[in-house]
Amino acid sequence: MGQTGGFLKYSRENNPGQGALERIQHWNEFHKMLPEEERRQQGARCMECGVPYCQSGTMLGRMVSGCPLHNLIPEWNDLVYTGNFDLALERLLKTNNFPEFTGRVCPALCEAACTCGLNGDPVTIRENELGIIEDAYQNGWMQPRVPKVRTGKNVAVVGSGPAGLACADQLNRRGHHVTVFERSDRPGGLLMYGIPNMKIEKEVIERRVRLMEAEGVRFVMNTDVGNGKDAAGLRKEFDAVVLCCGAKQPRGLDVPGKDAKGVVFAVDFLSQTTKSLLDSGFQDGKYVNPRDRRVVIVGGGDTGNDCVGSCIRHGCKSVCQIEMMPKAPDGRAENNPWPEWPLVCKTDYGQEEAIAVFGSDPRIYSTTVSEILQDDGGQVRAVRTVKLGEGLKPIPGSEEELPCDLLIIAAGFIGCQDYVPAAFGVDLTERRVVKTEPGGYATGIPGVFAAGDMRRGQSLVVWAIAEGRGAAHEVDAALMGYTNLP
């Protein structure tokens, strides 16, 4: 696969991006595609290794190594190198329903397991993937593929995030009639309202939804199943129901002052920002505005970083990001060898922008909030922090006060919201996600299945797509007595 010795001849080149001070002036994506010849060179770097760990999706240590979708990476890298982009598209779509999503927002588990990364820079797998699918849209190859035969079976998918979309796409291709119910006004779940525009512009999602509609999938918006839309009626109307509502119950801070004004969850802050941007270009004022405010963000993950980048674009006065964990090493530790996922410090786009605007990294490590301080009107004015030592235990005497006008909690999620499982009568696990059969997607209620974060817990878009595909396989077998879905 690729060019023999290509990894020795060519260096890794990423899609070029705008500088930090330039890109914070807008809310659009800020990377451009490499020209075709340079993209082909990146495909040439795929080194024909004997065991392609990139596509393994195998648990190593504490995390998965390689692609959970088992994408045929060496195959389409070779086709990129030889310029056969139409065949590359065919191989890519065999395993991934939405490479235009994963090519933008996936953390690239595949690249972390790339053999080239053992002693050098891994292949630009994610960007090659994005190049294939965007080239396909540009060339008019992504046309509706309407099933020639319909089964007569009707399936309801509740939730239009990546798991729901993948499940619906697979079942529709099989010939079932699929209806997707979404409580928001736009499809996409957290892809639409949880991930900022600069990481994935919403036209990308809308483009795919239009294609799915042309292929026969029906989308019903502004419909909250279990709260307005009767779950029992849905079960009677459809032969199967797949719950893909995500794990949207945010984890709060159980500290004094937690009810202060100016304390918001990251999912609400990001959702309101995107909706206001799409609806009115921020003219409606229906969002939490960090302009000229001192912002403290609790949480060091991708969501916290997205909040940093969003606050800077809004024009915040200052921003810092509090992380409970100590700073990760800059390079792999001895107990974290390739091809395990590298537990190293990553400076993401939001942190880069904070450094460019304010002159320093916004992250404060090994720290947590012990109290939220309020003014006489109940508005947050500061947070009291404490350093954490071994075992994440507070260090006496390490307390500090951070001025704060807006506190954004990006501490993850604790499971799915209760009302949908309750409406369908399905059980939850101790982790507050829907309980399904071991290794499967069927709940204890006949004809009701679950997939995505709602079953797995908070995870990645690539895992959500894999979950949706797996659920579709099981639903199809249950409806037809067999399945030919992958």
Q: 292 and 400 share a domain?
A: yes
Question: Which of 409, 429, 447 is where one domain is finished?
Answer: 409
Write b or e for each residue in 77-107: b if 16 or more Cβ atoms lie within 10 A of its Cβ, otherwise e. bbbbbeeebebbbbbbbebbbbbbbbbbbbb
Distance CA 23, CA 20 (A): 5
Across all residues in the chain, what is the average pLDDT?
A: 96
Q: What is the pLDDT of residues 91-108, one digit of tens each?
A: 999 999 999 999 999 999
Percent of the chain with pLDDT over 90: 96
pLDDT of residue 62: 79
**Mean pLDDT, to the nearest integer, of 447-470?**
97
Distance CA 236, CA 368 (A): 49
Helix (H) or strand (E) holding 371: strand 367-374
Whether 255 maps to a domain, the answer reads: no
Helix (H) or strand (E) holding 378: none
What CATH number has the domain bearing residue 421?
3.50.50.60
Largest Cα span, the chain: 71
Question: Which of 409, 442, 462 is where one domain is finished?
Answer: 409
Burial of 332 by CB count in 10 Å (0-12 exposed, 13-18 middle, 19+ buried)? middle
| Residue (of 143, 164, 275, 286) closest to 220 by Cα position | 164
Burial of 138 by CB count in 10 Å (0-12 exposed, 13-18 middle, 19+ buried)? exposed
* Total tally of structural domains belonging to the chain: 3
Q: Which tokens belong to 353? A: 């922008």
Q: Which tokens belong to 43? A: 């495909």
Whether 145 maps to a domain, the answer reads: no
Where in 245-327 does DSSP place strands (E)?
263-265, 294-298, 318-322
Q: 108 and 28 share a domain?
A: yes
Q: Is residue 65 within 8 Å of 169, Cβ to Cβ?
A: no
- Alpha carbon 196 to its chain's center: 11
pLDDT of residue 50: 85
Q: 131 and 200 share a domain?
A: no
pLDDT band for 2, please (50, 70, 90 cuts). confident
Q: 237 and 349 share a domain?
A: no
Helix (H) or strand (E) holding 350: helix 349-358
- What are φ and ψ of residue 28, in 5° steps? -95, 165
Whether 41 maps to a domain, the answer reads: yes
| Residue (of 180, 233, 263, 229) closest to 451 by Cα position | 180
| Residue (of 70, 36, 12, 75) closest to 466 by Cα position | 70
Whether 340 maps to a domain, the answer reads: yes
Checking if the pLDDT of 414 tops 70, the result is yes
Residue 106, amino acid: C
pLDDT of residue 1: 65
**Mean pLDDT, to the nearest integer, of 151-175?**
98
Q: Is residue 245 within 8 Å of 205, Cβ to Cβ?
A: no
Q: 298 and 391 share a domain?
A: yes
Q: 75 and 95 share a domain?
A: yes
Percent of the chain with pLDDT over 70: 100
Q: 39 and 87 share a domain?
A: yes
Whether 231 maps to a domain, the answer reads: yes
Distance CA 91, CA 405 (A): 50
Q: 61 and 40 share a domain?
A: yes
**Mean pLDDT, to the nearest integer, of 397-414?**
96
Q: 271 and 403 share a domain?
A: yes
Distance CA 31, CA 134 (A): 13
Q: 356 and 419 share a domain?
A: no
Contacts of residue 451, Cβ cutoff 8 Å, sequence gap at least 6: 163, 164, 167, 242, 243, 244, 441, 464, 467, 468, 470, 471
pLDDT of residue 279: 98
**Mean pLDDT, to the nearest integer, of 313-318?**
98
Distance CA 369, CA 483 (A): 51
Whether 485 maps to a domain, the answer reads: no
Q: Is residue 57 within 8 Å of 16, Cβ to Cβ?
A: no
DSSP codes joined into one string, 176-227: -EEEEE-SSSSS-THHHHTS-TTTS-HHHHHHHHHHHHHTT-EEE-S--BTT
What CATH number has the domain bearing residue 63?
1.10.1060.10
pLDDT band for 222, please (50, 70, 90 cuts). very high
Distance CA 359, CA 481 (A): 62
Checking if the pLDDT of 351 tops 70, the result is yes
Whether 69 maps to a domain, the answer reads: yes
Q: 292 and 405 share a domain?
A: yes
pLDDT band for 61, please (50, 70, 90 cuts). confident
pLDDT of residue 3: 80
Using the Cα atoms of residue 203, residue 26, residue 129 and residue 60 in order, give the sign of their dihedral: negative
pLDDT band for 48, please (50, 70, 90 cuts). confident
Q: Where in the sequence is the domain holding 398, given as residue range(s)?
A: 263-409
Using the Cα atoms of residue 209, residue 84, residue 54 and residue 52 in order, give the sign of their dihedral: positive
| Residue (of 436, 426, 421, 427) closest to 467 by Cα position | 436
Q: 469 and 424 share a domain?
A: yes
- Alpha carbon 253 to its chain's center: 23
Question: Which of 376, 409, 442 is where one domain is finished?
Answer: 409
